[in-house]
């Protein structure tokens, strides 16, 4: 029985071995020549798909930035310099001194030149260290071989470019009409990066960018004569609306060599998000602040190619992961209206929702076009109007708008809201002058704010004290950043006696308090802070946290947390009793009553609501004055808070320039959006005509 089983087992084993041997004989002998040729011709390579960057969208879904497909003609040195690596071998051989390998190579530089026969060649220069053996002479040298000595070297070489590299480059130049020299120079840049260990031989580098689809097809068909060159798909960042909200959206720029070390291996914890040397990165605005969120992960394919570079089959494939979309709070129509209203002026305009802190418009002028930023950079950088500066988040002297804070500080200190002061045209013998040369006479708060009386508010500031002025400035958000997400927001500066002593050791004088009371001196405020402060005052103390990002959503539509965001919940401040109503009433008078500093700009107003606003003309040492107009609309139940700040020409005032700009922005909002219900009594009431001419400070 056992012998029978053993016999069967041996037959099975022998039969299996015979089958294997027969198959091996077939493959290695009968079909051996075929498979030898196949193995010699097959190459395995990994190719990455481009990253799909997420979109940046406005509040209504308008696309402000998005990736679109495009094509480059790229080169791989490993493909160009094949089947034998003649060119690479010649370059590495040239990187030797006296037959010794150069270590710690520094800044290998390659340039295109010509040999005596006119043949293109590479001029190479490099520095590094070689290790030589220093052997003693005489009898000691016969016994001891000596020690190794490190020696710094610098050298220059000329290396001929092999015909196998030149011919495909010439063919590509003939096919596309591009410069043969420019194509060779791009190949040398790739070789230089490889020698400096910034790239690998199998890395692809564009030599022709954003080529038409016809060129892509011709290159793909002519691969036999274009060894090493191939079409490569990519994504190009497009900005469909050009300059619209450019300072908020930002722009993209190529990764610099010194930055490459930080990104080449991993990025944001994902190898799929790693960068290559020629990739782009967010440089400003939302593009920079949320670069990690917007950037997608590359896909990867392991492919089998024949000797002509044609893909035989895909062995492994990993799909790319698109980046997440960033949704902004910006309203495109109102953003465009703000930018058009600023025109050719240098300045900024901010509009925010005083209930939530959402920034509805954030304009800075002049602007740039993110799509052509790299091409326009030198012109933009030399422009004296500084279009690269995001002026809505930079700090400036505030001027008379600060009188609102001065009033709150004085009332909090115990000054009666009904208090009146005598204005004779100047505060004291050497204090600030008033806009009314001979003074306003005995004046109360409402008329003083309406006419922007300096003397009245100097008295109010003196009663409040500088520390109380600082306290209320800080309460209302001055001297601190908001939740505005893009980088670059200025903190501003609110002075105080204690702060000056601590920072500079200098004292505080009565004149400093007078200047502080009317928004002059060391005080610096951003337009964003100004809009936030007036929103808080006119909404009975609701201090919102301005922000421009509404939400972030991944490719599947799932909402993600905004990274690094602090709380955006409004804070409730306690204002002096009746303070908000009194200030609102005075600001409406400043805009809609004759004699008000903003009245000229709002002549013929026929909307079913009133605007509450304050003009200002802030003096700047060594620079032009700055005109402001800050306020809310509608005055009875604010739906928007705004701040406009613009550079002024000699003789101009905030009421002449900033207020008309603000009016155009307000009128861009539909009445239905602003009203949200029946208009209040104060908005429909006709104010009495005092027959006074408007003045401004």
User: Which pair of tokens denotes residue 73?
Assistant: 């003609």
Q: Is residue 8 part of a domain?
A: no
Q: What is the mean pLDDT of residues 49-59?
A: 91
Nearest to residue 645, comparing CAs of 660, 630, 664, 633? 630
Q: What CATH number has the domain bearing residue 342?
A: 3.40.710.10
DSSP H/E element including 612: strand 612-618
pLDDT top residue among 233 and 100: 233
* Of the residues 325, 340, 362, the one at which a domain ends: 325
In this predicted model, what pLDDT tens digit does every residue of 109-133 receive, in sequence order? 899 988 767 788 999 988 888 777 6
The reply to whether 275 and 355 lie within a common domain is: no
Domain-terminating residue out of 290, 308, 325 = 325
- Whether residue 177 is found in the same domain as residue 212: yes
Question: In terms of pLDDT, which residue wins out, 322 or 25?
Answer: 322
The distance of Cα 403 from the centroid of its chain, to the nearest Å, equals 35
Q: Which residue has the tokens 């002549």?
A: 603
Q: Please give the Cα distance from 614 to 600 (Å, whole number).
A: 13
Say if residue 165 is in the same domain as residue 213: yes
Q: Of 71-75, 170-174, 480-484, 534-538, which one has max mean pLDDT?
A: 534-538
Chain-centre distance for alpha carbon 460? 43
Residue 598 CA, chain-centre distance (Å), reads 36
3-state helix, strand, coil in the chain (%, to 5): 35, 25, 40
pLDDT attached to residue 221: 83
- On the 0-12 / 13-18 / 19+ scale of CB atoms within 10 A, 392 is buried
Range of weakest confidence among 7-11, 368-372, 517-521, 551-555: 7-11
The torsion angles phi and psi of 130, rounded to 5 degrees, stand at -115, 155
Same domain, 349 and 474: yes
Q: Is the pLDDT of residue 391 over 70?
A: yes
Classify the C-alpha dihedral 521-523-526-531 as positive or negative: negative
**3 state SS of 58:** coil
Tell me the percentage of the chain whose pLDDT exceeds 70: 90
Q: Which residue has the tokens 């190719």?
A: 47
Identify the band that residue 691 occupies on the pLDDT scale cut at 50, 70 and 90: very low
Residue 487 lies in a domain: yes
Shared-domain flag, residues 341 and 453 = yes
Number of domains in the chain: 2
Peptide bond into 634 cis (omega under 30): yes
Is-contact 104 130, C-beta < 8 A? Answer: no
* Residue 237 CA to its chain's centroid (Å): 13
Sign of CA dihedral 66, 68, 72, 78: positive
* 3-state SS class at 16: helix
Is pLDDT of 25 > 80?
no
> What was the pLDDT predicted at 697?
37
Kindly state the average pLDDT of the residues 279-291: 93
Any domain includes 619? yes
**CB 695, CB 449: distance < 8 Å:** no
Residue 28 pLDDT level (bands cut at 50, 70, 90): confident
Q: What is the pLDDT of residue 114?
A: 84
Establish if 16 belongs to a structural domain: no
CATH number of the domain to which 184 belongs: 3.90.1310.10
User: What are 77's two structure tokens?
Assistant: 């040195």
Note whether 428 and 495 are same-domain residues.
yes
Tell whether 254 and 397 lie within a shared domain.
Answer: no
d(CA 545, CA 526): 14
Q: Cα-flanking dihedrals φ and ψ of residue 545, to 5°? A: -110, 105
pLDDT in tens, 426-472: 998 888 999 888 889 999 999 999 999 999 999 999 999 999 999 99
Contacts of 321 (CB under 8 A, 6+ apart): 52, 272, 296, 297, 299, 555
CA 221/CA 216 separation, integer angstroms: 9
Q: What confidence score (pLDDT) does residue 308 get?
A: 53
Structure token digits, residue 415: 């000054």
To the nearest whole percent, how much of the chain has pLDDT over 90? 53
With residue 311 as reference, give the H or E element that holds it: strand 311-318
At a CB cut-off of 8 Å and minimum separation 6, what does 313 contact? 303, 304
CA distance 5 to 189: 72
Residue 689 has pLDDT above 50, yes or no: no
Predicted pLDDT of residue 607: 93
The residue with tokens 């009445």 is 671
- At residue 62, the pLDDT reads 96
Chain-wide mean pLDDT for the chain?
A: 87
In this structure, are residues 188 and 73 in contact, taking their beta carbons and an 8 Å threshold? no
Phi-psi label, residue 541: left if phi above 0, alpha if psi -120 to 50, beta otherwise: left
Average pLDDT over residues 528-548: 96
Report the greatest alpha carbon distance in the chain.
134
* Over residues 573-595, mean pLDDT: 95
Spatial separation of the C-alpha atoms in residues 39 and 64, rounded to whole Å: 50
Q: Are residues 309 and 450 in the same domain?
A: no
Q: How far apart are CA 533 and CA 536, in angstroms?
A: 5
Spell out the residues 6+ positions from residue 193 whose beta carbon is closer than 8 angstroms to its own.
199, 203, 205, 257, 277
Q: Is residue 632 in some structural domain?
A: yes
Range of the domain at 68: 48-86+107-125+151-325
Q: Which residue is associated with the tokens 């790229």?
A: 74
State residue 240's pLDDT score. 95
pLDDT at 144: 57
* All residues at 6 or more sequence positions from 662 whose CB lies less than 8 Å from its CB, including other chains: 341, 349, 601, 613, 629, 631, 642, 644
pLDDT above 60: residue 536 = yes
Mean pLDDT, to the nearest integer, of 520-545?
Answer: 96
Q: Are 345 and 280 within one domain?
A: no
What is the C-alpha R_g of the chain? 36
Query: Same domain, yes or no, for 272 and 411?
Result: no
Distance CA 321, CA 298 (A): 7
The answer as to whether 671 is a domain residue is no
Confidence at residue 42, expressed as pLDDT on a 0 to 100 scale: 65
* Residue 406 and residue 318 in one domain: no
Please identify, among 299, 325, 351, the residue that sits at the C-terminal boundary of a domain.
Answer: 325
pLDDT in tens, 293-343: 999 888 887 777 665 556 677 777 888 889 999 999 999 999 999 999 999
Position 408 in a domain: yes
* pLDDT at 406 (0 to 100): 97
- pLDDT, position 572: 96
Containing H/E element for 275? none
Distance CA 659, CA 696 (A): 11
Does position 106 have pLDDT exceeding 90, yes or no?
Answer: no
- Indicate if the pLDDT at residue 197 is higher than 90: no
End-to-end CA distance of the chain: 119
Q: What is the mean pLDDT of residues 567-593?
A: 94
Rounded to 5 degrees, φ, ψ at 626 are: -120, 125
- Please give the Cα distance from 228 to 249 (Å, whole number): 38
Peptide bond into 58 cis (omega under 30): no
* pLDDT of residue 32 exceeding 70: no
Q: Which residue has the higher pLDDT, 150 or 289?
A: 289
Burial 343-370 (b: 16+ CB within 10 A, else e): eebbbbbbbbbbbbbbbbbbbbbbbbbb
Highest average pLDDT, of 33-42, 305-314, 615-624, 659-668, comes from 659-668
Is residue 3 one of the residues assigned to a domain? no
The structure tokens listed for 184 are 């060779």
Pair (361, 442) in one structural domain: yes
């Amino acid at each position: 029985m056992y012998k029978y089983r053993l016999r069967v087992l041996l037959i099975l084993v022998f039969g299996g071995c015979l089958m294997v041997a027969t198959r091996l004989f077939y493959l290695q002998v009968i079909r051996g020549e075929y498979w030898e040729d196949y193995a010699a011709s097959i190459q395995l390579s990994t190719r990455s798909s481009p990253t799909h960057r997420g979109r940046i969208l406005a509040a209504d879904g308008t696309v402000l930035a998005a990736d679109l497909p495009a094509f480059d003609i790229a080169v791989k040195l490993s493909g160009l310099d094949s089947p034998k690596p003649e060119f690479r071998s010649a370059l590495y051989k040239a990187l030797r001194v006296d037959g010794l390998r150069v270590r710690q190579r520094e800044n290998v530089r390659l340039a295109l030149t010509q040999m005596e026969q006119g043949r293109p060649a590479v001029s190479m220069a490099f520095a590094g260290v070689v290790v030589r053996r220093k052997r003693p002479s005489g009898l000691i040298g016969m016994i001891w071989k000596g020690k190794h000595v490190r020696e710094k070297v610098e050298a220059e070489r000329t290396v001929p470019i092999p015909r196998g590299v030149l011919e495909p480059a010439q063919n590509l130049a003939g096919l596309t009409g591009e410069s043969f020299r420019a194509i060779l120079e791009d190949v040398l840049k790739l070789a230089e990066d490889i020698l400096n260990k910034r790239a690998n031989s199998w890395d692809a580098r564009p030599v022709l960018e954003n080529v038409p689809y016809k060129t892509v097809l011709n290159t793909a068909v002519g691969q036999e004569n274009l060894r090493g060159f191939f079409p490569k798909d990519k994504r190009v960042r497009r900005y469909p609306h050009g300059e619209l909200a450019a300072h908020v959206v930002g722009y993209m720029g190529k990764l610099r060599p010194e930055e490459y070390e930080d990104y080449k291996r991993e990025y944001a914890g994902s190898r799929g998000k790693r960068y290559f040397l020629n990739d782009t990165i967010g440089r400003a605005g939302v593009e920079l602040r949320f670069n990690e969120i917007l950037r997608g992960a590359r896909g990867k394919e392991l492919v089998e190619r024949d000797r002509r570079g044609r893909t035989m089959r895909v062995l492994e494939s990993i799909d790319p992961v698109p980046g997440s979309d960033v949704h902004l709070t910006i309203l495109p129509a109102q953003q465009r209206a703000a930018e058009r209203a600023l025109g050719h002026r240098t300045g900024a305009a901010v509009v925010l929702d005083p209930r939530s802190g959402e920034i509805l418009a954030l304009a800075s002028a002049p602007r740039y076009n993110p799509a052509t930023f790299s091409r326009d950079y030198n012109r933009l950088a030399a422009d004296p109007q500084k279009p690269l500066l995001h002026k809505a988040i930079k700090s400036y002297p505030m001027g008379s708008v600060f009188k609102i804070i001065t009033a709150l500080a004085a009332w909090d200190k115990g000054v009666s809201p009904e208090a009146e002061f005598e204005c004779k045209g100047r505060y004291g013998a050497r204090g600030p002058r008033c806009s009314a040369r001979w003074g306003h006479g005995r004046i109360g708060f409402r008329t003083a704010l309406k006419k922007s009386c300096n003397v009245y508010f100097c008295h109010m500031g003196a009663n409040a004290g500088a520390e109380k002025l600082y306290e209320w400035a800080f309460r209302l958000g001055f001297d601190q950043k908001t939740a505005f997400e893009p980088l670059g927001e200025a903190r501003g500066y609110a002075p105080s006696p204690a702060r000056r002593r601590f920072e500079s050791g200098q004292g505080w004088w009565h004149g400093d308090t007078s200047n502080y009371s009317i928004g002059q001196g060391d005080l610096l405020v951003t337009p964003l802070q100004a809009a936030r402060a007036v929103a808080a005052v006119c909404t009975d103390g609701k201090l919102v946290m301005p922000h421009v990002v509404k939400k972030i959503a991944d490719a599947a539509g799932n909402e993600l947390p905004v990274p690094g965001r602090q709380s955006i919940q409004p804070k409730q401040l306690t204002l002096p009793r009746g303070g908000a109503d009194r200030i609102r009433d005075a600001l409406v008078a400043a805009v809609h009553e004759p004699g008000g500093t903003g009245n000229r700009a709002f002549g013929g107003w026929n909307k079913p609501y009133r605007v509450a606003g304050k003009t200002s003309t802030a003096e700047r040492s060594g620079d032009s004055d700055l005109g402001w107009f800050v306020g809310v609309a509608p005055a009875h139940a604010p739906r928007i808070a705004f701040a406009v700040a613009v550079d002024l020409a000699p003789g101009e005032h905030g009421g002449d320039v900033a207020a008309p700009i603000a009016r155009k922005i307000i009128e861009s909002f539909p009445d239905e959006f602003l009203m949200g219900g029946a208009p209040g009594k104060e908005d429909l009431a006709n104010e009495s005509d005092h027959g006074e001419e408007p003045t401004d400070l």
